[in-house]
Structure 1
Amino acid sequence: MFNTEIKTQITAFAQSTKNAILVIGGAEDKIHGREILQTFLNRSGGSEAVIGIVPCASREPTLIGDRYQRIFSDMRAKEVRILDVRERSGGEDSGYLKFVNECTGIFLTGGDQLRLCGLLAETPLMNRIVERSQKQEISLAGTSAGAAVMGEHMIAGGSSGEFPNRALVDLAMGLSIIPEVLVDQHFYARNRLARLLSAVASHPNLLGIGIDEDTCAMFESDNTIQILGRGTVTIIDARQLSYTNQPQALGSEPLSIHNLKLHVLAHGDRYDLQKHQPFTSF
């Protein structure tokens, strides 16, 4: 029989290599501990990881793609390839599709979420990435703009630092990787609570998730979210919404939004997506 120490090592290895979807608030640590990036690498297979970088949200895809390629190569990934899509026709590239069918992880970089969706939404390449991630065949990470596109609906732009109002947020269709969420990023650094509240008032059936910089909401295969990084993840649950004036409010008129649940989670905390309850691992 295995002794207790060996059993513990095997259990830890299985946990570290289990596929997940990592939704990152942007500005993740790329130099020091690299906790979030290391977790993504581990969940993609560690030293056996075959990772695709999708930098097309950026206006400088070569620069940003090369940067992440160097990072994951330095972290000892087996192979790292940049999927440099500049036109929608690139979403049908047979070489890219072959790579996506064989890879163990995909990383969506930051930039402009509208640009990312405009280039890749409903293409064979993105459809395959979404399919494999939802089937838990690969790990998928998105940072900043790459995080914003995770839901069926996404925050495409807007202002910050105001009271909730309809004019504060611009909504568009996302990539439906995690359809039931509505994600905002760079959350407290850019004072975006009112923006997320305004978005949730439009779609109270969706779970609002605001993610700080260098922070990650990691969606696990057991329908829980694990929090990683140095900041917090704010969760807004509007399932029991009792009243909002959102349908009648015009422009920048203040929104009333009654009976929300708001949770602020930090490193080590978890959230049960079935029970809609936070809990801690400690």
Structure 2
Amino acid sequence: MLQMPTMQNRETQLQSSYTPALTKTAILVIGGAEDKVHGREILHTFFNRSGGSEAVIGIIPSASREPTIIGDRYVQIFEEMGTKYTKVLDVRDRDQGNDSVYLDYVEECTGIFLTGGDQLRLCGLLAETPLMDRIITRAQNHEITVGGTSAGAAVMGYHMIAGGSSGESPNRSLVDMAMGLGIIPEILVDQHFHNRNRLARLLSAIASHSELLGIGIDEDTCAMFESDRTIQVLGKGTVTIIDARSMSYTNQSQVKGSEPLSIHNLKLHVLCHGERYDLNSHQALPLK
């Protein structure tokens, strides 16, 4: 395991020894339950895109009700991979989103990882704080790699699915919406997707937000957003993409509660490992 400096001098050592890693940044949106034990393909990809052995990673476990346990677990994983330095940003109240130590650390980071838990809790603690604003700016400027799993994936869009049910026909009562963090504003993410039968839930959300691209991500699966505006699929499951830009009709404004929704003229893609999607042309790209 990587030997870490003491608490008293670790920040000073970081600032004096840090040089930016030449790496290709990305935003990794992970459907949850990613492999943490065996091949760790998705987490290795995050590690490599954050700079590999030169990576300086911040773990944000604020979505979890056990942030210390969850944070330490990811620290151990990334240290075993060989990061230069990994630290937990243990934000438990909104005032910590203005903590100068955390803000300084984010300036040195090459990767930020948002863990699972409760997406409402994560947004309640971090949305519109200086800390999260700086992370979002650096991610959108392609200066840093960001990964989010489960709840950390749900918050990626400006709008997010905060909760709801599954296993029913699409209907308005099936999904609860809230504001997300807006790291990738134009998407609407649902996680643990086919594993928890959430297609109807995502369709219900898209019916009232047809301007957004619906992204349903299975467990141990990642939709990796590249700087060239393509999405690459990693992992053992699928990524379902719902394009509602040409939606011609929905009865969403007429029905109530659990009455079924009709939604006409959607385009749906199901992508497997290695396949890509072009966000500019809105075309799925098969394996070469």
Indicate whether the TM-score tops 0.5. yes
Distance (Å, rounded) in 2 between the aligned partners of 1:133 and 1:249 = 39
Within-5 A mapping of 1:236-251? 236-251=242-257
Q: 2:29 aligns with which of 23, 27, 30?
A: 23
Corresponding residue of 2:218: 212
Q: Secondary structure at the match of 1:255?
A: coil
Cα deviation digits, residues 71-116 of structure 1 (max 9, x gap): 0000101100000001000100000000001110000000000000
Cα deviation digits, residues 35-54 of structure 1 (max 9, x gap): 00000000000000000000
1:127 corresponds to 2:133: yes
Q: Secondary structure at the match of 2:169?
A: coil
Cα deviation digits, residues 20-44 of structure 1 (max 9, x gap): 0000000000011100000000000
5+ unaligned residues in a row in structure 1: which ranges?
1-15
Q: Secondary structure at the match of 2:107?
A: helix
Corresponding residue of 1:64: 70
Distance (Å, rounded) in 1 between the aligned partners of 2:159 and 2:79 = 33
Corresponding residue of 1:183: 189
Q: Cα offset for 1:118? A: 0.1
Distance (Å, rounded) in 2 between the aligned partners of 1:266 and 1:126 = 31
Corresponding residue of 2:11: none
Q: Cα offset for 1:281? A: 3.3
Q: 1:111 aligns with which of 113, 117, 132?
A: 117
The alignment yields a C-alpha RMSD, in angstroms, of 0.7
Distance (Å, rounded) in 1 between the aligned partners of 2:154 and 2:72 = 22
Corresponding residue of 2:146: 140
Corresponding residue of 2:95: 89
1:76 corresponds to 2:73: no
Letter in 2 for 1:121: A
Q: Secondary structure at the match of 1:110?
A: coil
Cα deviation digits, residues 153-186 of structure 1 (max 9, x gap): 0000000000000000000000010000000000
Q: Cα offset for 1:213? A: 0.1
Within-5 A mapping of 1:155-166? 155-166=161-172
User: Quick one: percent identity of the two aligned structures?
Assistant: 76
Letter in 2 for 1:244: T
Distance (Å, rounded) in 1 between the aligned partners of 2:264 and 2:251 = 10
5+ unaligned residues in a row in structure 2: which ranges?
1-21
Corresponding residue of 2:40: 34
Distance (Å, rounded) in 1 between the aligned partners of 2:93 and 2:185 = 25
Q: Cα offset for 1:17? A: 2.8
Letter in 2 for 1:281: L
Q: Cα offset for 1:247? A: 1.0
Query: Which 4+ residue blocks in structure 1 deviate beyond 6 angstroms?
Result: none
Q: 1:224 aligns with which of 227, 230, 235?
A: 230
